[in-house]
Amino acid sequence: MTTPARPPIRPPFTLETAIAKVRLAEDAWNSRDPQRVSLAYTEDSQWRNRVEFFRGREAIRTFLQRKWTRELDYRLIKEIWTFGADRIAVRFAYEWHDDSGHWFRSYGNENWEFDDAGLMRRRHASINDLPISAAERKYHWHAPGPRPEDHPGLSELGL
């Protein structure tokens, strides 16, 4: 017997539902599964990621496959910044290394807009990369997989 899927979190958002939506997004991205992540977006979702602009789930899947081929041992923490009826703004930081073993912490902000079904129709991300040493890493949970509930968030880590 299969477990029925949990109903999506839909707008209008409350603080509680917006925080839950952010954590669901973080968990999905930490799976590093492009198919799973892409299902949170509308078929024609509009994206800006750094300097790339694209549209649609297939483009999202292709982008994520490329991203996680380059950004190895990726671990992400997102934190709500603010929200409105159908919009959420988050700040985030993720750690990863390249194929030469150089570590980075990437910081950024995302603005999200959702349709009535709770799928993201727009995502605008601004991201900056900071080279770090392996000793400066702060994210050490088993990956891929969600951040453990008892792992500190961005604010607790001073990020």
Which run of H or E residues covers position 114? strand 103-114
Three-state secondary-structure class, residue 92: strand
pTM assigned to the model: 0.94
What CATH number is attached to the domain comprising 99? 3.10.450.50
Is residue 111 scored above 60 in pLDDT?
yes
74 falls within a domain: yes
Residue 62 or 2, more confident: 62
The domain in which residue 113 lies consists of 15-136
Task: Give CA–CA dist 69/77, Å, rounded.
Answer: 19
59 falls within a domain: yes
Please give the structure tokens belonging to residue 71. 């950004």
Q: Which residue shows structure tokens 């299902």?
A: 39
pLDDT of 8: 82
53 falls within a domain: yes
153 falls within a domain: no
Going by their DSSP bridges, the two strands 120-132 and 103-114 should be labelled as antiparallel
Show Cβ contacts of residue 120 under 8 Å, excluding neighbours closer than 6 positions: 40, 41, 42, 45, 112, 113, 114
Is residue 4 scored above 80 in pLDDT?
no
